[in-house]
Amino acid sequence: MRAVKLMITVLVLSGMFWVGEASAYQKSGKDLYKANCRVCHGVDSKFGEYSPMTYIQDQWKKFFKVKFALTHQGVVMPESGKPLMETLTPEQIKVIEKYCIDGAADSEHPQTCS
C-alpha cells in the first residue's frame, strides 16, 4: 500500500513539474525572443524588422536549419557586447525557434512579439 501511495505521489509531483515546465517553456519563448532578437530586429531596424509572423512556418524551419547559425555567427549583443552565440544556449535557440514557428504568419495565432 505504501508503495502505491509513493508511486501516486511521484506521479502527481512529476505531473506538476511537467505542467510548470510547459508554461515556463511557452513564456520563455517570447521573453527570449524579446531579449535577444527584438533588440536588433525591432520596428524600423537597420537589420530588418522581424517578428514571428514575418515568415511562414516552413520558412522559419528552413531559416533555423540553414541560415541562422551562418548569419548570426559574428553578431554581438548591443548591451553586453557578448557574442549572440555565446549568449544563447542551443536549448534556448530551440525555444526561440519553437516560438517563431508557433507564432508564424500561417499559424493559428500569428505573433508580433510586441
Partner 1 sequence: MKYLVITIFAGFALMMGMASAQEYSHQNYFENYEGTKTCLECHQEAAENFFHSQHYQWKGEAPGIVNSRGRKLGKINTFNDFCTSPTGNWIGQVKNSRGDVVSKGCSTCHAGLGKQPAEKMDREQLENIDCLICHASGYRRDLYKQEKGDWEWRPILWKNREGLNSVSKRISAPTRAMCLRCHSASGGGPNYKRGDLEYKLVEAEKSYDVHMASDGRNMQCVSCHAGENHRVKGRGTDLAGTDIPGHSLSCSTSECHGESPHKVKVLNRHTSRVNCTVCHIPSFARTDPTDMVRDWSQTVYNAETDKYSAKITLEKDVKPVFAWYNGRTKAQLPGEPAYRLPDGTVGIMIPQGSRRDPKSKLFAFKLHRGRLPLLTGRNWIIPITVEHFFSNGELDESVRLAARTIYGVNDAKFTWVDTKRYMGIFHGVQPAANSLRCLDCHSPSGRIDWKGLGYAGDPLDNLPGSRSRK
Q: Which residues bind partner 1 (CB under 8 A)?
A: 53-56, 58-59, 105-108, 110
Shortest Cβ distance from residue 91 to partner 1 (Å)? 27
Q: Are 37 and 96 in contact (CB under 8 A)?
A: yes
Shortest Cβ distance from residue 7 to partner 1 (Å)? 29
Shortest Cβ distance from residue 57 to partner 1 (Å)? 8
Q: Give the angle 64-51-102 at the CA atoms, nearest 5°.
A: 65
Which residue, 39 or 63, has its beta carbon nearer to partner 1? 63
Q: List, as one string, the DSSP characters of 42-72.
A: STT-TT----GGGS-HHHHHHIIIIIHHHHH
Which residue, 35 or 53, has its beta carbon nearer to partner 1? 53
